[in-house]
Amino acid sequence: MARRQYPFHLIEPRWQQFWLAGETFRAFNPGEAVPPLHPFARRHGTPDKTGQTDLLPPKYYILDMFPYPSGAGLHVGHPEGYTATDILARYRRAKGFNVLHPIGWDAFGLPAEQYAIRTGQHPRITTAGNVANFRRQIRSLGFSYDWSREVDTTDPGYFRWTQWIFLQLYNSWFNPASNRAESIATLVFPPDCTTESQRRALRDSKRLAFVSEAPVWWCEALGTVLANEEVVDGLSEVGKHPVVRKPMRQWMLRITTFADRLLADLDTIEWSDSLKEMQRNWIGRSEGAEVDFQLAAHPARLRVFTTRPDTLFGATYMVVAPEHRLVDEITAPARRAAVDAYRAEVAKKSDRERTDATGKKTGVFTGAFAINPVNGEQIPVWIADYVLATYGTGAIMAVPAHDQRDLAFARQFELPVRPVVQPPDPTADPIGFCDAGTAINSAGAGIALDGLPTPDAKQKITAWLESNGLGQKTVNFKLRDWLFSRQRYWGEPFPILWRTDADGTPYHEALPESSLPLLPPALEEFKPTSDGQPPLARATDWVREIPGATRELNTMPQWAGSCWYYLRYLDARNDSRFVDRAAESYWMGTAGAAATPGVDLYVGGTEHAVLHLLYARFWHKVLFDLGHVSTPEPFFKLVNQGLILGADGQKMSKSTGNVVNPDEILAEYGADAFRLYEMFMGPLSETKPWNTQGVEGVYRFLGRVWRLFVDEASETEFEQRLAAEPGRGADFLGQIQLAANVVETEPSAAQLKALHACIRKVTDDLEHLRFNTAISAMMMFVNEALPWERKPASILKGFLQLLAPFAPHLAEELWERLHAHVGQTPPSLSYADWPRHDPALLVEDTLELPVQVNGKLRDVIHVPAAATAADIEAAALAAEKAQPFIAGKTIRKVIVVPRRLVNIVVG
Partner RNA sequence: GCCGGCGUGGCGAAAUGGCAGACGCGCUAGACUCAAAAUCUUGUUCCCGCAAGGGAGUGGGGGUUCAAGUCCCUCCGCCGGCACCA
Residues in region 359-378 near RNA by CB under 7 A: 361
Site residues for RNA, 438-497, by CB under 7 A, read 476, 478
Site residues for RNA, 594-633, by CB under 7 A, read 606, 609-610
How far apart (Å, rounded) are the C-alpha atoms in residues 98 and 38?
A: 13
Interface residue with RNA, options 20, 730, 750, 857 (CB under 7 A) = 857
Interface residue with RNA, options 254, 568, 617, 770 (CB under 7 A) = 770
Stretch that binds RNA, among 155-163, 249-257, 383-391, 806-814 (CB under 7 A): 383-391
Are 235 and 228 contacting, i.e. CB atoms less than 8 angstroms apart? no
Contacts of 527 (CB under 8 A, 6+ apart): 117, 223, 535
**Cβ closer to RNA: 460 or 707?**
707
> Would you call 167 helix, strand, or coil by DSSP?
helix
Tell me: cis bond preceding 517? Omega within 30 of 0 counts.
Answer: yes
Q: Strand ranges (DSSP E) for 147-202?
A: 151-152, 172-175, 180-183
How far apart (Å, rounded) are the C-alpha atoms in residues 345 and 324?
A: 15
**Cβ closer to RNA: 133 or 286?**
286
> Would you call 189 helix, strand, or coil by DSSP?
coil
Are 661 and 130 contacting, i.e. CB atoms less than 8 angstroms apart? no
Interface residue with RNA, options 241, 856, 862, 889 (CB under 7 A) = 856
Site residues for RNA, 306-325, by CB under 7 A, read 306-308, 321
The answer to the question of residue 688 lying near RNA (CB under 7 A) is: yes
**Residue 341 exposed, middle or buried by CB count within 10 Å (0-12, 13-18, 19+):** exposed
How far apart (Å, rounded) are the C-alpha atoms in residues 215 and 236?
A: 16
The answer to the question of residue 234 lying near RNA (CB under 7 A) is: no
**Cβ closer to RNA: 526 or 669?**
669
Stretch that binds RNA, among 128-136, 379-387, 482-490, 534-542 (CB under 7 A): 379-387
The answer to the question of residue 826 lying near RNA (CB under 7 A) is: no
Interface residue with RNA, options 503, 724, 848, 866 (CB under 7 A) = 848
The answer to the question of residue 38 lying near RNA (CB under 7 A) is: no
Site residues for RNA, 695-724, by CB under 7 A, read 696-698, 700-701, 703-704, 707
Minimum CB separation of residue 289 from RNA in Å reads 9
Beta bridge partners of 509: 497
Stretch that binds RNA, among 142-150, 260-268, 747-755, 844-852 (CB under 7 A): 844-852
Interface residue with RNA, options 691, 745, 794, 828 (CB under 7 A) = 691
> Would you call 634 helix, strand, or coil by DSSP?
coil
How far apart (Å, rounded) are the C-alpha atoms in residues 41 and 48?
A: 11
Q: Are strands 901-906 and 846-853 parallel, antiparallel or unpaired?
A: parallel
The answer to the question of residue 687 lying near RNA (CB under 7 A) is: yes
Interface residue with RNA, options 157, 683, 729, 826 (CB under 7 A) = 683
The answer to the question of residue 286 lying near RNA (CB under 7 A) is: yes
How far apart (Å, rounded) are the C-alpha atoms in residues 641 and 81?
A: 6
Minimum CB separation of residue 853 from RNA in Å reads 9
**Starting at the edge strand that comes first in sequence, how are the strands of the sheet with 224-226 ordered?**
224-226, 209-219, 244-253, 482-483
**Cβ closer to RNA: 206 or 303?**
303
The answer to the question of residue 903 lying near RNA (CB under 7 A) is: yes
Are 238 and 206 contacting, i.e. CB atoms less than 8 angstroms apart? no
How far apart (Å, rounded) are the C-alpha atoms in residues 200 and 204?
A: 6
Are 442 and 271 contacting, i.e. CB atoms less than 8 angstroms apart? no
The answer to the question of residue 658 lying near RNA (CB under 7 A) is: no
Q: If residue 615 lies in a helix (H) or strand (E), which one and from where to where?
A: helix 611-625
**Cβ closer to RNA: 459 or 691?**
691
Count the Cβ atoms, other than its own, within 10 Å of residue 630: 17
Site string for RNA, 398-437 (x = CB under 7 A): -----x-x--------------------------------
Stretch that binds RNA, among 292-300, 481-489, 679-687, 716-724 (CB under 7 A): 679-687
How far apart (Å, rounded) are the C-alpha atoms in residues 388 and 106?
A: 36
Please report which residue ranges of 786-854 form alpha helices under DSSP H.
793-803, 808-821
Contacts of 285 (CB under 8 A, 6+ apart): 259, 260, 263, 475, 476, 477
Contacts of 688 (CB under 8 A, 6+ apart): 642, 643, 644, 645, 681, 682
**Cβ closer to RNA: 132 or 870?**
870
Minimum CB separation of residue 775 from RNA in Å reads 7
The answer to the question of residue 573 lying near RNA (CB under 7 A) is: no
Contacts of 422 (CB under 8 A, 6+ apart): 430, 437, 438, 439, 440
Minimum CB separation of residue 408 from RNA in Å reads 7
**Cβ closer to RNA: 16 or 393?**
393
**Cβ closer to RNA: 691 or 794?**
691
Give the count of residues interacting with RNA (CB under 7 A). 86
Interface residue with RNA, options 102, 109, 123, 392 (CB under 7 A) = 392
The answer to the question of residue 753 lying near RNA (CB under 7 A) is: no
The answer to the question of residue 5 lying near RNA (CB under 7 A) is: yes
CA distances to 175, 389, 426, 579 from 144, rounded to whole Å, are 44, 52, 65, 23
**Cβ closer to RNA: 282 or 831?**
282
Stretch that binds RNA, among 335-343, 443-451, 799-807, 848-856 (CB under 7 A): 848-856
**Cβ closer to RNA: 530 or 693?**
693
DSSP state of 508: E
Minimum CB separation of residue 359 from RNA in Å reads 7
Site string for RNA, 238-277 (x = CB under 7 A): -----------------------------------xx--x
**Cβ closer to RNA: 692 or 748?**
692
CA angle 770, 773, 779 (to 5 degrees): 140
Nearest in space to 517 (alpha carbons), one of 158, 160, 153, 152: 160
Site string for RNA, 47-86 (x = CB under 7 A): ----------------------------------------
Q: Are strands 364-371 and 286-296 parallel, antiparallel or unpaired?
A: antiparallel
Site residues for RNA, 863-902, by CB under 7 A, read 881, 884, 893, 895, 897, 900-901
Stretch that binds RNA, among 280-288, 291-299, 537-545, 579-587 (CB under 7 A): 280-288
DSSP 701-755: HHHHHHHHHB-HHHHHHHHHHHHH-GGGHHHHHTT--B-TTEE--PPPHHHHHHH
Minimum CB separation of residue 568 from RNA in Å reads 28
Interface residue with RNA, options 310, 385, 625, 672 (CB under 7 A) = 385
Are 116 and 124 contacting, i.e. CB atoms less than 8 angstroms apart? no
Stretch that binds RNA, among 79-87, 209-217, 239-247, 301-309 (CB under 7 A): 301-309
Interface residue with RNA, options 41, 278, 436, 523 (CB under 7 A) = 278
Minimum CB separation of residue 412 from RNA in Å reads 11
DSSP 525-541: --SPPTTS--GGGG-HH
Region of 682 please: left (phi>0), alpha (psi -120 to 50) or beta.
left
Site residues for RNA, 781-810, by CB under 7 A, read 783, 786-787
Stretch that binds RNA, among 57-65, 153-161, 682-690, 804-812 (CB under 7 A): 682-690
Site residues for RNA, 503-522, by CB under 7 A, read none
Minimum CB separation of residue 227 from RNA in Å reads 12
